[in-house]
Chain A
Amino acid sequence: MIEIRNLIKSFGDKTVLDDISFQFEKGKNNLVIGASGSGKTTMTKCIVGLQQPNSGVVKYDGQSFWDMTRKQKAELRQSIGFLFQGGALFDSMTVEENVKFALRVFSNKTNKEMANRVDFCLERVNLHGVKSLYPDELSGGMKKRVGIARAISMKPKYLFCDEPNSGLDPQTAILIDQLISEITYEYNITTMVITHDMNSVLEIGDNIMFLHQGKKFWNGSKTDILNTENKELTDFIYASNFMKAIRDKAK
């Protein structure tokens, strides 16, 4: 479980995160939704330690991240998998080398054991015959899958996904959502997904937080969200005609 308490982050005079508290639960798909610029990515960067918050607490299974020593932080990060919005695959490496990267650095596995683990991870994300390809030879959906395979290569306890289905066609987007969800339940890990895709919310949202202008405006589950009367959230959810049609039909 990851807990954040009273998280505040400012850039100059601009407050990007304003007193955010939330619990990302283990074995659940924890979704952070909100419009662009609402602070989702900044919050994630504060949680994983890429940016230091001005104040507030980030706890991984009860242990405060910012009180950890450098060594403890490095050890914790080995248990974090991160899927970046653009994939962030190492473009000078093949798919196999990308997935193997953390294993080479941190594990004492033999080459054969590492190759087996790479095969397993690629199999898990339904990728076949791409091991020797470079990232620029892959489609957007394949890049995301390789990103997921790389993220799970070290058997993470925490999985972060930054807009995992942005730029993907609807079918692939749903497949990626389902894959993240399956991995979360299968390995019983704490997963945090940043998204502004309502399909994802309704598909996999077990525990949802809505950010608006740097503040937490709402939290609940995918079954609660359609019944909310929170104005900022309803404006966000029903921005598209598709969602308005769903609402009208439900009425």
Chain B
Amino acid sequence: MKFLYSLGSYTIFLNKVFSRPEKWKMFRQNILDEMINLGVNSLPIVAIISFFMGAVITIQTASNTGGGIIPLYTVGFAVRESVILEFSPTIVALILVGKIGSSISSQLGTMRVTEQIDAIEIMGINSASFLVQPKIIALVLLNPFLITLSIFLSIGGGFVAGVGTGAITPYDYEYGIQYDFEAFDYAYSMIKSVVFGFVITSVPAYFGYHVKGGSMEVAKASTKSVVQSSIVILGLNYVLTQMLLL
């Protein structure tokens, strides 16, 4: 029952968020600001995680394919498949929930408890639309680029680790990452990144926007938003995978 109430409340919130902006010029500027704030400022963490993620997957795969029965290029193939299909879109989304989601939730929560959202409402501005819509649009547009970058850096990290440790030759790795490539895998990854971009911004925004009380509640909302967003991402990951890959 509580789940249904939350779902209904979230839907009403989204309806309020996606109403016509008060002023298009300001709206466009807000989207650009949020692209820098949410997307560009996330580049370092995405880059670091992706590089090491690729490196670890390569070494782990290489250590399990030794013995000569399985060809070495399988390592490159496995890295590419796991990174494109799962690691980059999903793991990076979970990392971004921690970084961006908690930030959105605490920003809106603080604005709520310090009456800044009330101030916007009283001016006759739809506060949900004004504050949240640019964030959602910015990340939905930018997340595919972040994930694409993550894919390249993961594969690059795998190359550095695999070749650097002597676990695989450059030729085998390059052959593996090109072997039996399906363009739809990348499309599937991009579809997930768009959906996850929406979840990473809208779910924490919902929790932050509806905070009642003081700083303790802001902190609780921030934690709750990260947990709930992660669960939603994992659930949608399963649903999208079944829908698109089976």
Binding site for B on A (CB under 8 A): 48, 50, 73-78, 80, 82, 84-86, 88-91, 101-102, 104-106, 154
CA distance in complex: A90, B125 (Å): 14
CA distance in complex: A192, B124 (Å): 19
Kindly state whether residue B4 has any CB partner on chain A within 8 Å. no
Q: How far is the CB of B37 from chain A (nearest CB, A)?
A: 10
Kindly state whether residue B1 has any CB partner on chain A within 8 Å. no
Kindly state whether residue B2 has any CB partner on chain A within 8 Å. no
CA distance in complex: A104, B125 (Å): 12
Which of B50-58, B110-118, B150-158, B189-197 makes up part of the contact surface? B110-118
Q: Judge whether A105 and B114 touch: CB under 8 Å.
A: no
CA distance in complex: A222, B64 (Å): 87
Q: Find residues 58-116 in chain B having any chain A CB closer than 8 Å to their own CB.
A: 114-116
CA distance in complex: A163, B70 (Å): 76
Kindly state whether residue B121 has any CB partner on chain A within 8 Å. yes
CA distance in complex: A154, B122 (Å): 12
- Chain B residues near A78: list those with CB within 8 A: 123-124
B interface, how many residues as a size bin?
10 to 19
Kindly state whether residue B26 has any CB partner on chain A within 8 Å. yes
Q: Judge whether B124 and A76 touch: CB under 8 Å.
A: yes
Q: Judge whether A106 and B115 touch: CB under 8 Å.
A: no
Q: How far is the CB of A178 from chain B (nearest CB, A)?
A: 24
Q: How far is the CB of B138 from chain A (nearest CB, A)?
A: 16
Q: Judge whether A104 and B123 touch: CB under 8 Å.
A: no
Q: Judge whether B124 and A50 touch: CB under 8 Å.
A: no
Q: Judge whether A106 and B116 touch: CB under 8 Å.
A: no
Can you list 14 contacts pairing A with B, beta carbon distance less than 8 Å? A74-B125, A78-B123, A80-B122, A82-B118, A84-B115, A84-B119, A86-B115, A88-B114, A88-B118, A88-B119, A91-B114, A105-B125, A106-B123, A106-B124
Q: Which of A85, A86, A89, A101 contacts B123 (CB 8 A)?
A: A101
- Chain A residues near B122: list those with CB within 8 A: 48, 50, 77, 80, 82
Kindly state whether residue B22 has any CB partner on chain A within 8 Å. yes
Q: How far is the CB of B28 from chain A (nearest CB, A)?
A: 13
Which 9 residue pairs of A and B lie closest in terms of their CB atoms, listed nearest first? Answer: A77-B124, A88-B115, A74-B124, A88-B119, A82-B122, A78-B124, A84-B115, A102-B123, A105-B22
- Chain A residues near B114: list those with CB within 8 A: 86, 88, 91
Besides the contacts A77-B122, A85-B115, A88-B119, what 18 more A-B pairs have beta carbons closer than 8 Å? A50-B121, A50-B122, A74-B124, A77-B123, A78-B123, A80-B124, A84-B115, A84-B118, A84-B119, A86-B114, A86-B115, A88-B115, A88-B118, A91-B114, A105-B23, A105-B26, A105-B123, A106-B124
CA distance in complex: A126, B185 (Å): 63
Q: A74, A84, A88, A104: which has the most chain B beta carbons within 10 Å?
A: A88
Q: Judge whether A106 and B22 touch: CB under 8 Å.
A: yes
Q: Judge whether B118 and A73 touch: CB under 8 Å.
A: no
Q: Find residues 116-140 in chain B having any chain A CB closer than 8 Å to their own CB.
A: 116, 118-119, 121-125
- Chain A residues near B119: list those with CB within 8 A: 82, 84, 88, 90
CA distance in complex: A35, B244 (Å): 62
- Specify the chain B residue showing the minimal Cβ separation from A153: B123
Q: How far is the CB of B46 from chain A (nearest CB, A)?
A: 24
Q: How far is the CB of B39 from chain A (nearest CB, A)?
A: 18
- Chain B residues near A73: list those with CB within 8 A: 124
- Chain A residues near B118: list those with CB within 8 A: 50, 82, 84, 88
- Chain A residues near B124: list those with CB within 8 A: 73-78, 80, 106
